[in-house]
Structure 1
Amino acid sequence: MDLELRHLKTIRAIADAGSLTRAATALGLAQPALSAQLKRIERALGGALFERGRAGVRATALGDLVLERARVVLPAVCELQEEAVRFAREGATGHRLGGTHGPLLGGLVDRLARGGPGAPVTTYTSWSEREIAGGVAAGRLDFALVGVCGESSPPEAGRLAWTEVARDPVHVMLAAGHPLAHRAEIDLADLADEAWTDVPGDGCFGDCFAAACVRAGFTPGCVYETDTASCVHLVQVGRAVGLCRATFPATPGLVTRPLTGTPLIWRHLLGWHPESRAARRAPDVLAHARAAHADALARSATRGPTGP
């Protein structure tokens, strides 16, 4: 049997887990199947890689040697694959954008399409900022247009170049007939008895919102996490109040109002790989993103401070 990368991944998984049982669970295998695979690998390498005991497994001297090499080989192969994907896909003209929901991505696509009609613009959307950033790091996307809460670090901060497009105060959405809808701004504490609705995400916004509520003296009793259209509907019918960015467009049946003291901030960020071919287009794409934000803010129900 020839040694393959998958065999090195199996050996590393067993070492990391410390037992065959836990490693089998992590790899999605039955333990007997993993044990049989390990025996085949050990035969191919000429000796035992692990000592079995009641407390789990421990690498032998041969196992330590193989693990040392695996920790060099596996990241190198992963990096090679990412670079190959990036090289193969970046030869084509155009822009491959990844973004979360909201009007900013649509505005950026429109501006890029109008500015270079001969260069195709493709998009990939996800609720996961980490997934989008990972796509840029792996060369599957040219740019990531995402947001983070407050001063939080963006995903893949060590691998991608990130620049702030703008920053928005987080507003509250209310039904047009809500008793507080007439106010110019609303204190978060005055919403203590409300049900809330918001869109999902894998950043820290949910924790930041909960912390802001605690500072205001309450804990949210109910939060409906759903898609944007459902959030709007729940607000329009008075079932909940919602959180939105200052760029949220004017919508019949609801109003948006800033929160007193601006307890929550949303930063729009553009990210790219600094060594990619797309990096030279970053200043132009950033300028279009900032213009798209200004357009979205002008169309929003209320206006708030923007970034650079």
Structure 2
Amino acid sequence: MDLELRHLKVIRAIADAGSLTRAATSLGLAQSALSAQLKRIERALGGALFVRDRGGARPTPLGELVLERARVLLPAVRQLQEDARLFARSWGGVPRFRVGGTHGPMLGALVDRLSSAHPAAEVSTFTAWSVSEICAQLSEGRLDFALVGVCGESRPPDADRLVWQPVGRDPVFVLLSDDHPYADEPELELGKLAEERWASVPGDGCFSDCFTAACAQAGFTPVSVFETDTASSVHLVQVGRAVGLARATFPPTPGVVTVPLAGTPLSWRHLIGYHPGSPAALAAPAVSLHTRQVHRDAVRRNARYDDWLRHNTCYGTAS
């Protein structure tokens, strides 16, 4: 006989009731039927689970082991059932997905997944450099979901009004032209780039301050920083006018390479957010799942990052 979840429920019921008589009553079974079922379970598990006497039923050491596992497994299965029902309901009758985000390839990949999984729904996007602007639209009901990021361990924006689900945590790599002298290095000390000019995209978080602090820790002040859009930043790197900063999920791009920074002085957390009172909140589990898969796919596309993660397991896609 194979052990089933219903058998674990029987074992837990006996332990909770303290006797077969009371457990049989709570389960709606005859005591003889419950006793016979317990004997079959004990044979399957290889030993007695309870000591039975006039005082009731007490778990044996084997019974304690099984109960310990049952107390973990049964709530986990119940939660799985609830999550699955919510996931299934969340895709029923959703008329649209209005998704906001900062500029980056993950937003496009999320739109692709949502459009493929839910072809009847209208999918629209809004992008801005300012996370504050995106969050304001989310709070006002003009957006359903927001895909944003925060530097390091920074607190998510508007955390008192919005719900944020983790998507992934990436190190920040340095972006170099493929003919840069350090392009083939397995990792780079930030201080080796002290004489370089830098290119980075703008934002209203603390990333620029954290970068300046990391440079100071490495013993230098950046010569200059070109704050511009992603395409312009990549072009400046390609032609050797600057080196860049990029999340490790930056997609493979002709003419540039990403190189890890020694000690990982900078990191980035991707988040998917929504307003808990919005109609879209019901779809949040499904959207979060799709967003994590988008991040997982982005990791796999960058072979250097995928390899780096084998030795740095605290980063990568959220579970």
TM-score by length of 1: 0.69
Q: Could you tell me whether the CA contact under 8 Å between 1:248 and 1:301 is conserved in 2?
A: no
2:241 counterpart letter in structure 1: R
Q: CA deviation at 1:302?
A: 2.4
Question: Aligned pair 1:265/2:279, yes or no?
Answer: no
State the match for 1:306 in structure 2: 316
State the match for 1:64 in structure 2: none
Q: CA deviation at 1:94?
A: 1.2
Distance 1:301 1:236 in 2: 20
SS in 2 for 1:153: coil
Unaligned runs of 5+ in 1: 1-90
Question: Residue 205 of structure 1 is aligned with which of 204, 207, 210?
Answer: 207
Q: Could you tell me whether the CA contact under 8 Å between 1:136 and 1:144 is conserved in 2?
A: yes
Distance 2:222 2:235 in 1: 20
For residues 89-109 of structure 1, what are the alpha-carbon distances to aligned partners after superposition, in whole Å with 9 as ceiling and x for unaligned? xx9711000001111111110
Question: Residue 230 of structure 1 is aligned with which of 224, 229, 232?
Answer: 232
Q: CA deviation at 1:301?
A: 5.4
Q: How does 1:46-61 map to 2 (within 5 A)?
A: none
State the match for 1:163 in structure 2: 165
Distance 1:157 1:224 in 2: 31
Q: How does 1:82-161 map to 2 (within 5 A)?
A: 93-161=95-163
The 4+ residue runs of structure 1 with deviation greater than 6 A are none
Unaligned runs of 5+ in 2: 1-92, 310-314
2:161 counterpart letter in structure 1: R
Question: Residue 240 of structure 1 is aligned with which of 233, 239, 242?
Answer: 242
Q: Could you tell me whether the CA contact under 8 Å between 2:295 and 2:317 is conserved in 1?
A: no
State the match for 1:277 in structure 2: 279
For residues 180-212 of structure 1, what are the alpha-carbon distances to aligned partners after superposition, in whole Å with 9 as ceiling and x for unaligned? 111011111111111000001111100011111
2:107 counterpart letter in structure 1: L
In structure 2, relative to structure 1, the CA distance for the partners of 1:301 and 1:254 (3 Å cut) is farther
Q: CA deviation at 1:155?
A: 1.7
Question: Residue 174 of structure 1 is aligned with which of 173, 176, 181?
Answer: 176
1:181 counterpart letter in structure 2: A
SS in 1 for 2:184: coil
Distance 1:252 1:243 in 2: 16
State the match for 2:292 in structure 1: 290
Q: Could you tell me whether the CA contact under 8 Å between 2:296 and 2:317 is conserved in 1?
A: no
Q: Give the root-mean-square deviation of aligned CA atoms.
A: 1.2
TM-score by length of 2: 0.67
For residues 80-132 of structure 1, what are the alpha-carbon distances to aligned partners after superposition, in whole Å with 9 as ceiling and x for unaligned? xxxxxxxxxxx971100000111111111000000000011110000111100
Q: Could you tell me whether the CA contact under 8 Å between 1:103 and 1:247 is conserved in 2?
A: no
Question: What is the count of residue pairs matched by the alignment?
Answer: 218
Q: CA deviation at 1:275?
A: 1.1
Distance 2:303 2:200 in 1: 18
Q: Could you tell me whether the CA contact under 8 Å between 2:171 and 2:248 is conserved in 1?
A: yes
Distance 1:164 1:228 in 2: 24
Distance 2:304 2:95 in 1: 38
Q: Could you tell me whether the CA contact under 8 Å between 1:163 and 1:269 is conserved in 2?
A: yes
Distance 1:208 1:307 in 2: 23
Q: Could you tell me whether the CA contact under 8 Å between 1:209 and 1:264 is conserved in 2?
A: yes
SS in 1 for 2:129: coil
Q: Which has the larger radius of gyration?
A: 2
Distance 1:106 1:253 in 2: 22
Distance 2:248 2:209 in 1: 20
Distance 2:107 2:169 in 1: 15
For residues 259-298 of structure 1, what are the alpha-carbon distances to aligned partners after superposition, in whole Å with 9 as ceiling and x for unaligned? 0011001000111001111111101000000000111121
